[in-house]
């Protein structure tokens, strides 16, 4: 009888501990922040500024899905030009938009556990790796080309034509690694580096005017350094 009472007591104790542990896990799961809304700015090796707004949903504790709207523009306005074969006309691109390109950037965000600093655990540090894809909107752009008499002081366009790019890729891969600091419960600041196979000038790179391709620098990969601020909830 004593052995039976002991067995019953131990069984009840184990079940109680198990239920308390499961309840704590459920409570932590409910308290876990699911969303991160972030805005980031960056500079890259094409001398372009970058701006991205993104939303991340944490599917699991250390893995989430991100969708970002990315844009890039020139620090200094640029135009392309040349002369016709007979040297009678001078041509120049006419594009007033400061934005070089737009793109969607879906990715998977993989994070390390947060290392909390301080007695009050008011600052947490972690690393995040985000492999993803870049989809330009649209892949090919159209430029307006203005023609001027090839003589000094002639800056009134005699005629214009619109030329569209062809053959740009619609999909490129990228990967970002970021050092993240969680400040308080909801503020997230991160510094990141991104390596991408995306060519921001490919949407106009293959345009041909008067038998000439536009003279645009090209790099094997695009490298970016970024600073981001986000809200977690």
Collect the ranges in the chain with pLDDT lower than 50. 4, 8, 12, 15-16, 18-30
- The C-alpha angle with vertex 12 and arms to 4 and 21, in degrees rounded to 5, equals 155
Give the pLDDT of residue 90.
93
Half-sphere exposure of 222 (CA within 13 A, CB side): 26
* Residue 154: Cβ within 10 Å count: 12
Task: Decide if 85 contacts 57 (C-beta within 8 A).
Answer: no
Taken as a whole, the chain contains a residue count of 233
Dihedrals phi, psi of 215, to nearest 5 degrees? -85, 95
What digits encode the pLDDT tens for the residues 55-68?
Answer: 999 999 999 999 99
Residues 209, 166, 173, 138, Cα dihedral to 10°: 100
pTM over 0.85, yes/no: no
Instruction: Label residue 152 exposed, middle or buried (CB < 10 Å: 0-12, 13-18, 19+).
Output: exposed
Give the pLDDT of residue 10.
59
């Amino acid at each position: 009888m004593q052995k039976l009472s002991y067995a019953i007591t131990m069984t009840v104790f184990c079940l109680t501990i198990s239920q308390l542990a499961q309840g704590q896990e459920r409570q932590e799961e409910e308290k876990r922040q699911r969303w991160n809304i972030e805005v980031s700015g960056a500079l890259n090796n094409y001398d372009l500024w970058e701006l991205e707004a993104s939303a991340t949903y944490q599917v699991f504790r250390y893995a989430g899905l991100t969708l970002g709207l990315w844009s890039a523009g020139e620090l200094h306005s640029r135009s392309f030009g040349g002369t016709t074969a007979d040297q009678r006309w001078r041509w120049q691109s006419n594009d007033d938009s400061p934005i070089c390109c737009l793109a969607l950037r879906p990715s998977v965000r993989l994070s390390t556990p947060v290392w909390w600093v301080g007695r009050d655990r008011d600052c947490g540090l972690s690393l995040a790796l985000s492999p993803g894809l870049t989809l330009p909107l649209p892949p090919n752009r159209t430029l307006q080309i203005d023609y001027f008499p090839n003589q000094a002081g002639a800056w009134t366009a005699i005629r214009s034509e619109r030329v569209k790019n062809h053959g740009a890729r619609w999909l490129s891969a990228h990967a970002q690694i970021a050092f993240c600091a969680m400040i308080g419960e909801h503020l997230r600041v991160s510094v990141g580096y991104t390596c991408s196979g995306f060519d921001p000038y490919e949407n106009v790179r293959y345009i041909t005017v008067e038998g000439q391709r536009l003279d645009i620098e090209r790099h094997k990969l695009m490298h970016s350094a970024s600073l981001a601020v986000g809200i977690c909830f």
